């Protein structure tokens, strides 16, 4: 996927997610574990966009969207999880 900003080269995101009405939220307890690994494939400095390859260890609703948003790198074109 393509995200706004220059994200680190590689990483792993782990959190607990809980479904809400339209959005999923990160919680400390009462949610389901979500794990996403990523690697930056390319970065366009003129547009400040990063191309990522993602590996979902778990498959939760909105997992990729919320994980990248919480890191500060919303997905290009995202309408719900954005700044």
The predicted structure's pLDDT at residue 6: 98
The predicted structure's pLDDT at residue 22: 82
The predicted structure's pLDDT at residue 21: 81
Got the DSSP string for 17-45?
Answer: EEE-SS-EEEESSSSEEEEEEEEEEEEET
Contact 35, 67 (CB under 8 A): no
pLDDT tens, position by position, 4-49: 999 999 999 999 999 988 889 999 988 999 999 999 999 999 999 9
The predicted structure's pLDDT at residue 48: 98
Strands 32-44 vs 10-19: parallel, antiparallel or unpaired: antiparallel
pLDDT tens, position by position, 68-81: 999 999 999 999 99
């Amino acid at each position: 996927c393509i995200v706004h900003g220059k994200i680190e080269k590689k990483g792993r995101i782990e959190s607990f997610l809980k479904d809400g009405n339209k959005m999923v939220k990160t919680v400390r307890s009462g949610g389901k574990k979500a794990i996403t690994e990523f690697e930056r494939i390319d970065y366009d400095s003129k547009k400040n966009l990063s191309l990522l390859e993602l590996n979902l260890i778990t498959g939760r609703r909105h997992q990729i969207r919320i994980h990248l948003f919480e890191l500060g790198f919303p997905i290009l074109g995202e309408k719900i999880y954005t700044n």
